[in-house]
Amino acid sequence: DAGVIQSPRHEVTEMGQEVTLRCKPISGHDYLFWYRQTMMRGLELLIYFNNNVPIDDSGMPEDRFSAKMPNASFSTLKIQPSEPRDSAVYFCASSHDSIHEQFFGPGTRLTVL
């Protein structure tokens, strides 16, 4: 298996632009998680899905952030409009109901100028 796939790996954009991060979970996994990692705040859970349904989005910072999972093999995290404080590494992880272990993707490093 190829593991969790995230794209792009690096994104540099200007303040006010829309940013879309993409994730393909491991086939057969039924949980998908979006995290943000910064030096100041560490690893933060933004939202997670079970069987494509959002279960907990309490970590989504504000209305500028939105996440979707249209099917079991694809999810997006969108920031519109982006701000410099959104600069971080964003990780996607997936898990199977029976094993609890989360498998992480390589992350997307976002820089908002």
Partner 1 sequence: AQSVTQPDIHITVSEGASLELRCNYSYGATPYLFWYVQSPGQGLQLLLKYFSGDTLVQGIKGFEAEFKRSQSSFNLRKPSVHWSDAAEYFCAVEPNAGNNRKLIWGLGTSLAVNP
The residues binding partner 1 (CB under 8 A) are 4, 31, 33, 42-43, 45, 48, 50, 55-56, 91, 93, 95, 100-107
> What is the smallest separation between the CB atom of 33 and partner 1, expressed in angstroms?
8
Cα–Cα–Cα angle for 66, 69, 70, rounded to 5 degrees: 120
> What is the smallest separation between the CB atom of 79 and partner 1, expressed in angstroms?
20
> What is the smallest separation between the CB atom of 56 and partner 1, expressed in angstroms?
6
Write down how long the chain is.
113
Nearer to partner 1, 69 or 93 (CB): 93
Which amino acid appears at position 36 of this protein?
Answer: R
> What is the smallest separation between the CB atom of 48 and partner 1, expressed in angstroms?
6
Closest CA to 81 of 14, 30, 11: 14
Cα separation of the two ends of the chain: 36
Nearer to partner 1, 15 or 43 (CB): 43
Nearer to partner 1, 19 or 46 (CB): 46
Nearer to partner 1, 14 or 56 (CB): 56
Spatial contact of 76 and 23, defined as CB atoms under 8 Å apart: yes
Query: What SS3 state is found at 61?
Result: coil
